[in-house]
Chain A
Amino acid sequence: METGQRKDPDGKLVPLHFIQNVTLKVNGKTVVESQISQGISRNPVFTFRIKGGAKGDRIEVSWIDNHGETNQTETAVA
């Protein structure tokens, strides 16, 4: 996370960089959507809870940062 207010040793501002959106899907259905600001910590940890949840349910998490970089991961409920 970079707030955009910190300066590097040369006195230049370090550009804003943070995770902006996190989406949680269960079996392909979106259950949580979040919009996040630069107030979040570096390497943030989020915990969400879902109703029900059976063995084999597919959990997908995707995220995008303010540079447009995106990634996702998925797992099945064990």
Chain B
Amino acid sequence: MAVLAAIALKAVRGAGRGVEQGRLWRENRGRRAEILGASNPVASRDVVIEAPQIAENGAVVPIEITSNVPGTTSIAVLIDKNPFPLVGKFDFMEGALPFVKLTRSWARPPSAGRRRSARKHYVATQEIKVTIGGCGG
């Protein structure tokens, strides 16, 4: 199952097909970020993604994202290689903690969480493997 995320990139390269996938990843990331108004997201460990590394049922995959970046105003969840990469964008106002947990469906997915604080953008990625596809209705 094709999986890649920033963290997984080196391993994928080692598999021999990574150059092409790596290029797509970078290009897509740039484009998706632009749509969100985030042209240069900074990789950050302050963005924590909790998700299964292997999801048995692709129709319902739980993802939990916490931002430890002070002043976080928004979290967007993007899935690579998804027909609709942006799963959702969550805007947090005063009184909310920058945390979101959701279930999403996918057949071939890694995930990326992205957050914004004071017009700076941070990104974290995690790969998730799925054993049963989720896009079959």
Closest A residue to B66 using CB positions: A49
Closest A residue to B64 using CB positions: A47
Q: How far is the CA of A3 from the CA of B79 in the complex (A)?
A: 15
Contact B96 A39 (CB under 8 A): no
Please, what's the 1-or-0 string for A21-65, where 1 marks a CB less than 8 Å from any CB in chain B? 000101001111111111111101111111110000000000000
Please, what's the 1-or-0 string for B57-85, where 1 marks a CB less than 8 Å from any CB in chain A? 00111101000000000000001001111
Q: How far is the CA of A40 from the CA of B99 in the complex (A)?
A: 17
Count, chain B residues at interface, CB 8 A = 34
Q: How far is the CA of A46 from the CA of B96 in the complex (A)?
A: 14
Closest B residue to A19 using CB positions: B88
Closest B residue to A1 using CB positions: B105
Count, chain A residues at interface, CB 8 A = 31
Contact A41 B96 (CB under 8 A): no
Chain B contacts for A52, CB-based, 8 A: 95
Say yes or no: is B12 at the interface (Cβ < 8 Å to chain A): no
Contact B104 A44 (CB under 8 A): yes
Say yes or no: is B25 at the interface (Cβ < 8 Å to chain A): no
Say yes or no: is B89 at the interface (Cβ < 8 Å to chain A): yes
Interfacial residues, chain B to chain A (CB-CB below 8 A): 59-62, 64, 79, 82-97, 99-106, 134-137
